[in-house]
């Protein structure tokens, strides 16, 4: 009961201090508010970015490898022209990988170009056209809301068929059913056989909603594929690690390219872990900056709370003397003032958390970027505020607890 009464009195003092000395207390707590807002907002945004990043990487597949001309992670001192002179992955490379690999569940080749897509008088400009070999659908599964995927015969014969992203289908056909109708791409008519399920954008801005997909063998009849940037994607079999698959693919592709044992590989095998590592490093630096900015604000706020507590001890010296003369122990006085400092800090921290919540609400409901203030971030904010209040109030509280009761009662009399 005594402990609860102490908590109540400490809370009432903090509120009283805020009401009586509005300007002084508000300016003091502003440092705590800014500090908590800076730290928690940075952590909250990073959480949301990380979730979006993980979603984007998961859509690529953690066990999917990308054989390309350029590596995703380039050293700053590595001559870029060596990468430029490398050959692009070819259909021959793909066929040999499919024939020789025992660790791969599937392999496919794709290219991307930008073209206009037309249906009657409707037109969508700058559409991402993805040309794929048949097994692409096994490696990167697609959800089709209407229609179907390519048949092996359509893929192998290069039939003029096409899959539409949901946004493209909506812009071209509005409420009409696109399946069975013909759109115009490359000045050629292609039959729509399916519409992809709407998925939205990931962190990297990738989305199938604004994409159309055609068979690679059809693309080879209308595009100079040999002189375009190509990518081979390979998915590992279950229980085969990426490292094992990389070792096997490295040997296969080197033998296809007839490279000597001492020669440097003329291709790169990329994996999504490279993206994760690069983002982790970036997030780490930005998080550190957020903590530094927030830390400075918290230090300023902490000094402000310490100043308030020193003034409070001086103003209440007589009351402290009376409390001690009636039997109050030093520890009781110490805890009383510490709680008051903690409650003051918590008020500032709570305002900071409210601002983060408001910002998250606006970002999610107005800007369309989902940011969620999670309970663990709220706990971090509360604990950080409490620790700052504890540290800031310790010396004033210790000074109050050590006052001589007789001298204390004389001082303000």
HEC string of the chain? CHHHHHHHHHHHHHHHHHHHCHHHHHHHHHHHHHHHHHHHHHHHHHHHHHHHHHHHHHHHCCCEEEEECCCCCCCCCCCHHHHHCCCCCCHHHHHHHHHHCCCEEEEEEEEEEEEEEEECCEEEEEEEEEEECCCHHHHCCCCEEEECCCCHHHHHHCCCEEEECHHHHHHHHCCCCCCCCEEEECCEEEEEEEEECCCCCCCCCCCCCCEEEEEHHHHHHHCCHHHCCCEEEEEECCCCCHHHHHHHHHHHHHHHCCCCCCCCCCCEEEEHHHHHHHHHHHHHHHHHHHHHHHHHHHHHHHHHHHHHHHHHHHHCHHHHHHHHHCCCCHHHHHHHHHHHHHHHHHHHHHHHHHHHHHHHHHHHHCCCCCCCCCHHHHHHHHHHHHHHHHHHHHHHHHHHHCCCHHHHHHHCC
Report the mean per-residue pLDDT for the chain.
Answer: 83
266-325: pLDDT as tens digits: 889 998 777 677 777 777 777 777 778 777 777 877 888 888 778 777 877 777 777 777
In a domain, 16, yes or no: yes
102-119: pLDDT as tens digits: 999 999 999 999 999 999
Instruction: Say which range, 98-102, 232-236, 358-362, has the weakest mean pLDDT.
Output: 358-362
User: 34-43, 248-257, 325-334: which has the highest mean pLDDT?
Assistant: 248-257
- Final residue belonging to a domain, choices 209, 232, 266: 266
pLDDT at 163 over 90: yes
Q: Are residues 242 and 347 in the same domain?
A: no
In a domain, 337, yes or no: yes
Range of the domain at 287: 2-56+277-411
- Final residue belonging to a domain, choices 231, 266, 301: 266
Q: Are residues 98 and 167 in the same domain?
A: yes
Task: Please give the model's pTM, rounded to 2 decimal places.
Answer: 0.67
Q: Are residues 92 and 40 in the same domain?
A: no
Q: Are residues 32 and 112 in the same domain?
A: no
Neighbours of 379 (CB within 10 A): 10
The residue-averaged pLDDT of 208-221 equals 91
The end-to-end CA distance of the chain, in Å, is 32
Q: Are residues 328 and 260 in the same domain?
A: no
pLDDT at 52 over 80: no
Q: How far is CA 2 from CA 8, 312, 332, 393, 402, in A?
A: 10, 22, 10, 21, 21
Q: Are residues 186 and 41 in the same domain?
A: no
Share of the chain above pLDDT 70, in %: 85
Q: How far is CA 271 from CA 20, 124, 319, 354, 389, in A?
A: 61, 33, 69, 40, 47
In a domain, 256, yes or no: yes
Residue 140 contacts residue 233 (beta carbons within 8 Å): yes
Q: Are residues 110 and 222 in the same domain?
A: yes
Instruction: Count the domains in the chain.
Output: 2
In a domain, 82, yes or no: no
In a domain, 248, yes or no: yes
In a domain, 378, yes or no: yes
Contacts with 6 (C-beta within 8 Å, 6 or more apart), sequence order: 332, 335, 336, 339
In a domain, 78, yes or no: no
The confidence score (pLDDT) of residue 77 equals 66
Q: Are residues 309 and 393 in the same domain?
A: yes
The confidence score (pLDDT) of residue 185 equals 93
Give CA–CA dist 243/63, Å, rounded. 10
Q: How far is CA 39 from CA 32, 357, 382, in A?
A: 11, 13, 12
326-366: pLDDT as tens digits: 776 777 778 777 887 888 888 888 888 999 888 888 887 87
In a domain, 71, yes or no: no
Q: Are residues 100 and 46 in the same domain?
A: no
pLDDT at 62 over 80: no
Q: Are residues 349 and 211 in the same domain?
A: no
Q: Are residues 248 and 281 in the same domain?
A: no
Q: Are residues 103 and 246 in the same domain?
A: yes
The confidence score (pLDDT) of residue 58 equals 64
- Final residue belonging to a domain, choices 235, 266, 297: 266
């Amino acid at each position: 009961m005594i402990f609860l009464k102490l908590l109540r009195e400490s809370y009432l003092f903090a509120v009283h201090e805020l009401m009586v000395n509005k300007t002084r207390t508000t300016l003091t707590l502003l440092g705590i508010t800014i500090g908590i807002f800076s730290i928690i907002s940075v952590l909250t945004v990073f959480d949301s970015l990380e979730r979006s990043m993980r979603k984007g990487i998961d859509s690529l597949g953690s066990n999917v490898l990308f054989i390309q001309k350029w590596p995703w992670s380039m050293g700053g001192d590595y001559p870029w022209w060596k990468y430029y002179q490398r050959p692009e992955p070819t259909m021959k490379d793909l066929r040999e990988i499919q024939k020789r690999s025992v660790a791969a569940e599937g392999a496919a080749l794709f290219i991307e170009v930008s073209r206009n897509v037309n249906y009657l008088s409707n037109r969508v400009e700058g559409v991402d056209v993805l040309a794929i070999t048949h097994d692409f659908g096994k490696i990167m599964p697609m959800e089709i809301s209407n229609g179907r995927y390519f048949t092996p015969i359509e893929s192998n014969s290069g039939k003029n068929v096409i899959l539409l992203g949901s946004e493209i289908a909506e812009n071209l056909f509005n409420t009409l059913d696109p399946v069975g109708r013909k759109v115009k791409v490359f000045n050629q008519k292609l039959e729509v056989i399916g519409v992809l399920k709407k998925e939205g954008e990931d962190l990297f801005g990738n989305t199938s909603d604004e994409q159309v997909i055609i068979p690679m063998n059809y693309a080879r009849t209308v595009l100079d594929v040999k002189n375009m940037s190509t990518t081979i994607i390979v998915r590992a079999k279950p229980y085969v690690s990426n490292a094992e698959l990389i070792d096997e693919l490295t040997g296969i592709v080197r033998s296809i390219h007839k490279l000597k044992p001492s020669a440097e590989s003329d291709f790169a095998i990329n994996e999504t872990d490279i993206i994760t590592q690069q983002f982790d490093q970036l997030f780490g630096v930005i998080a550190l900056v957020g903590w530094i900015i927030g830390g400075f604000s918290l230090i300023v706020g902490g000094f402000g709370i310490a100043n308030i507590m020193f003034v409070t001890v001086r103003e209440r010296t007589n009351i402290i003397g009376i409390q001690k003369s009636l039997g109050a122990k030093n520890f009781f006085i110490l805890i009383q003032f510490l709680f008051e400092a903690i409650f003051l800090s918590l008020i500032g921290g709570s305002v900071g958390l409210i601002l983060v919540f408001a910002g998250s609400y606006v970002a999610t409901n107005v800007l369309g970027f989902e940011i969620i203030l999670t309970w663990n971030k709220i706990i971090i904010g509360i604990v950080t505020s409490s620790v700052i209040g504890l540290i800031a109030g310790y010396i004033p509280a210790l000074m109050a607890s050590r006052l001589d009761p007789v001298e204390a009662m004389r001082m303000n009399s």
